[in-house]
Amino acid sequence: MRSARPAVAAVFLVALVMVAVRQRADPPAPPEQELSHFAGVLDHRQQTLDPVLADLYGRAARALEAGDAAAAETLYREAIAKYPSDPDGYNALGTCLSFQRRYDEARGEYNRALQLDPGSRDALYGLGCVAYDQRQYDEAVGHLEAVLAKHPSDADAHRVLGLTYDALDNRPKAREHYQRATELNPTFAQEKHIRERLEALKP
C-alpha cells in the first residue's frame, strides 16, 4: 500500500474550476487552448513516492500542459490498469475527460472513484463541475454541497457553487458563496468575473 495517497485529482480540479469560470464569462475555447492555459498548475512531482506512478502522472501532466489531452488520457488509463484499486487515477482521468468536454465519460470515471472511496471529495467536486458545465445546476448543487458538508473551507467548491447559484438566479446564495470563496482564497478576489459578480449582486 502506498503511503499518503497522492492528491492528483485536486491538482487537476483546480484547473477545471478555472475552465468553468471562463466558460461562463467567455465563448468556449477549443479544449487544447484551455489545456495550454494551465502551465505550471499541473504538477505531480510531490504527489506519490511510487516511482512508476510518479512517472506516469508526471508525463500526463506535461502532456496536458502541452495541450495533448489524448496522450494524457492514454497515460492515465495506463496508471489505472497498473493500479486499478486507486481512486486517484479515476479522478484524474475524469478531469482529463472533462477538459475534452467528454462529460458522460468523465462522470463514469468519477463514479468509479466513488465506488472505491465513498464520499471522495475530488470525485464529488468533479461531478459538480461536470454538472455545472452541462447546465444541470440542481445536480451540481447537490454534489458541491456534499463537498462542503465535509470540507466547509473548500474555496473551490464555494466558487463553483457561486457560479451555479448565479446561473439559477439565486442572488443571495450566489453572493454568499462568491464571498466565502474570496475569503478562503484571496486570489479569487482578483478574478475579473468574480469581482464583477460580487459588485452586481450587492443587496
What pLDDT is stored for residue 37 in this prediction?
Answer: 36
Which pLDDT band, with edges at 50, 70 and 90, does 75 fall under? very high
Fold classification of 138-203 is 1.25.40
Q: Is residue 35's pLDDT more than 90?
A: no
pLDDT of residue 19: 40
Q: Residue 78's pLDDT is what?
A: 96
Per-residue pLDDT at 147 exceeds 70: yes
Every domain of the chain with CATH number 1.25.40.10 lies at 1-134, 138-203
Residues 6+ apart with CB under 8 A from 140: 128, 129, 131, 132, 160, 161, 164
How many Cα atoms sit within 13 Å of 83 on the Cβ side? 24
What pTM, to 2 d.p., does this model score?
0.78
Most confident of 4-8, 94-98, 127-131: 127-131
CATH number of the 1-134 domain: 1.25.40.10
Question: Looking at 5-19, 58-72, 76-90, which range is the least confident one?
Answer: 5-19
User: 31 vs 130, which has greater pLDDT?
Assistant: 130
